[in-house]
Amino acid sequence: MANDASTAAVQEHLVRYGGDFAEVLIDKASGSYVYDRSGRAILDFTSGQMSGILGHSHPEIVAAVAQAAGRLDHLHSSFLSPPVLELGARLAALLPPTLSKTLPLSTGAESNEAALRLAKLYTGGFEVIAFDRAWHGMTGGAAANTYSGGRKGYGPAMPGVLTIPTPYAYRSPFATNGHYDWQAELDWALDTIDRQSVGALAAAIIEPLVSSGGIITLPDGYVAALKKKCAERGMLLIIDEAQTGLGRTGTNFAFERDGVAPDILTLSKTLGAGLPLAATVTSAEIEQRCYDRGYMFYTTHVADPLPAAVGNKVLEILVRDRLADRAREMGEYLKQGLVSLQQRHEAIGDVRGRGLLLGIELVEDRHRKEPARDFGMAVGKRCLELGACLNIVSRRTHAHIFRIAPPLNVSRGEIDTALGILDTALTECAGRA
């Protein structure tokens, strides 16, 4: 941590929940920057926990929080309020007609739990398919369908969890001589599912861009092909847009690129622009059948008015400021900068992603593609020392992969600064190797 007192406080009072803490203590944040206790500015190119699409302490969000807190903050779950009704209407206006019914919640894991319960009650099945690099949360059903970390040592997962290969073009065995046959991989995957299933398939849950699993972009046509296979088996398709929703990938929702809508959509992170707000959105037909069958998903903060008011302001700014278009424009600029770095640094094996959710994969050798985990850890640490947080996906499993996701209102100058810091860190760390 930043000093001996901070280290002592961690040792004495805090549970370490995901490896070691960063060696810096953050005191405040504003815009694209966080600041340590000495006032040193650090570019936050992780948008907090991949959530703050408007940057830190956006003045309109601050005002919305203050106004809501002074008027209506929390209610019993049986009560509704104007901000909640408005949130449902705003989301429906942005989404396809088949996604018209919203359940407001607090976290991404909650929204995925709610979605899984809807799918199971609607279909009568209990088997769920997820990517083998997925991250959907750390609660029961969500954790059971999370494979990019956190599985070992906790006993049996929920019954009925099944996996298919993440369409990882850079490393897939179905990619040869520069050609990736994702359709053959998907066909093979569903054949194996059919052999494993006990005849109770309920849903597939996927991220349209697999973020925590390594910034893996699904091929064009993949989502449509998967939805067809789900329909053939009487399954629902759940798309988890915790990190990709609300403009991040260059469209309001990442699934729009593929021209097909999910049966259930889950949102979190970006919906509250860093504050705790999530939503599970589905069709009127699915909601009605589940209601008739006694659907229940109570939480203490379901449909709370204060976070709903924040979500309304986020959606207003998203549309008003055309943030999806801005993410597409700034994302292309950032990606070009990363490709330029790749041309100068042999350690960058791959550059990928969409909009302002991008990644680089560091390798020991471009031909063998051996992950450069120790090098990745060193580069990430040096970037932080130089004044930029360029997130490493996982210290334990994906230390060689960086998730780069600045706020959607990031400036070109801030992108240039981050690229310069990454360039310096790559050069210095390579020199020490």
Tell me, yes or no, if 152 is annotated catalytic.
no
Q: Which amino acid is at 136?
A: H
Integer Cα distance of 207 and 213 in angstroms: 10
Give strand ranges (E) for 174-289.
175-176, 179-180, 201-206, 209-210, 216-217, 236-240, 264-267, 278-282
The β-bridge partners of 176 are 179
Catalytic residue selected from 101, 110, 135, 335: 135
Is residue 243 flagged as an active site residue?
yes
- Whether 269 sits among the annotated catalytic residues: the reply is yes
The reply to whether 403 belongs to the active site is yes
**Given the residues 304, 373, 403, 414, the one annotated as active site:** 403
Strands 41-44 and 388-389: parallel
Q: In the chain, what are the helix, strand and coil shares in percent, each to the nearest 5?
A: 40, 20, 40
Cα 319 to Cα 182, 246, 250, 315, 323: the distances in Å are 34, 9, 13, 6, 7
For residue 204, what are the CA distances in angstroms to 136, 145, 231, 233?
Answer: 12, 10, 10, 11
Of 133, 233, 269, 328, the active-site residue reads 269
d(CA 131, CA 189): 10
Measure CA of the first residue to CA of the last residue in the chain; give whole Å.
Answer: 25
Q: Rounded distance, CA 263 to CA 43, Å? A: 37
**How many CB atoms sit inside 10 A of residue 69's CB?**
13
Separation of alpha carbons 18 and 391, rounded Å? 14
Parallel/antiparallel/unpaired status of strands 209-210 and 216-217: antiparallel
Residue in 44, 240, 258, 263 annotated catalytic? 240
| Residue 11 annotated among the catalytic residues of the structure | no
Out of 44, 207, 287, 414, the active site residue is: 207
Active site residue: 185, 243, 263, 352, which one?
243
Q: Catalytic residue positions?
A: 135, 207, 240, 243, 269, 403
